[in-house]
Every structure is written in C-alpha cells, then in structure tokens.
C-alpha cells in the first residue's frame, strides 16, 4: 500500500506540478510573442488573449493538487491548535473527508460540462471558434488530481488518528 501511495504521489506531482509548469512556460512564450509582434510589427497576435485566458484557467485547476500537497492553500488554524492531538486529528479527518466529497462533485460537474460541450459542439465566440471542450479538459484533469491527492491525505489522516487512538 505504501508503494502505491508513493507512486500516486509522484504521478500527482508530475501532472499537477510539471504540467502546470509547462503551461506557465507556454503562456510566457505566448505573451512574449504577443508583445514582440505588437511593438515591432504593429500587428498583435489575435490568439494571445483567448488562449492566454484558457491557460490561466489551466494553471489554476491543474495546480490545485500540487498546491494542496505543498500545503500552500489558505489555512486558519489558530483555534484548532489549542485542542488536544486526538481532537485535532479527528477534525482533520472530518474536514479532509468534506473536501474529498466536494472535489468528487467538482470532478462530476467538470465531466458533465465537457461532455455537454462535446455533445453540442460548443465553440468560443471569437473568430477562432475554438472547440471549448478541449480547454475545459483542464477542469477534469485538475479536479481529478485534487481528488486523488485528497484520497491520499484522508488515508494518511485516518492512519495517524488510529495510531494516536492506540497509544492512548
């Protein structure tokens, strides 16, 4: 089980951290080309604004799991820090379980959104007429990575809670 957890963590880090970094690099390149064409050739790229927006959403969603894993999400712990360890761990299991359920709903909603976009052939309103299902795929990827990361966190929290219970 431990080996599986480590492999899953590496996979999540690769997708959530690595893919996010790649998208950031592509976005920086797109902006560089946009600025260069605008000021040197007096003709801006008309794709930069639309695709830049898609990439910002991708960066946000794909980075959710990595942000969670690196513990850089906003936390408010001033009250819970005053409780005994058993209560802290119990609250952690509870709140992580709630987050897991929420991320599960997020996965389902993203899946339905992309499915409807494919079914109805939704396209952007710009002259590019980008099929929206493809940029929306990042919602599924990010939500799924967050769900998997939360699964690992719940398992670890339950294990710690059981270990503390056995010590008492």
- Cα–Cα distance, 144 to 121 (Å, whole number): 23
pLDDT for the residue 50: 92
Taking phi over 0 as left and psi of -120 to 50 as alpha, with beta for the rest, 17 belongs to alpha
The pTM score is 0.88
Number of domains in the chain: 1
Confidence class for position 168, pLDDT limits 50, 70, 90: low
Q: Write the pLDDT tens digit of every residue in 88-130.
A: 999 999 999 999 999 999 999 999 999 999 999 999 988 889 9
Query: Does pLDDT of 164 surpass 90?
Result: no
Containing domain of residue 124, as a range? 2-167
Mean confidence (pLDDT) of the chain: 91
| DSSP code of residue 123 | B
Q: Is the dihedral of CA 161, 5, 71, 142 positive or negative?
A: negative
Picking from 72-76, 88-92, 93-97, 143-147, which range would have the lowest pLDDT averaged per residue?
72-76
């Amino acid at each position: 089980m431990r080996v599986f957890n480590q492999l899953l963590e590496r996979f999540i880090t690769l997708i959530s951290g690595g893919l996010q970094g790649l998208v950031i690099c592509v976005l920086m390149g797109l902006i560089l080309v946009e600025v260069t064409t605008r000021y040197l050739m007096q003709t801006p790229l008309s794709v930069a604004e639309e695709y830049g927006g898609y990439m910002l959403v991708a960066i946000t969603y794909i980075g959710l799991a990595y942000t969670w894993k690196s513990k850089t999400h906003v936390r408010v712990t001033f009250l819970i820090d005053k409780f005994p360890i058993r209560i802290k761990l119990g609250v952690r299991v509870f709140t992580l379980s709630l987050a897991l359920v929420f991320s599960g709903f997020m996965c389902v909603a993203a899946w339905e959104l992309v499915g409807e976009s494919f079914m109805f052939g939704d396209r952007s309103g710009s002259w590019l007429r980008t099929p929206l299902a493809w940029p929306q795929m990042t919602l599924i990827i990010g939500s799924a990575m967050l769900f998997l990361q939360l699964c690992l966190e719940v398992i670890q929290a339950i294990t710690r809670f059981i270990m503390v219970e056995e010590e008492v």
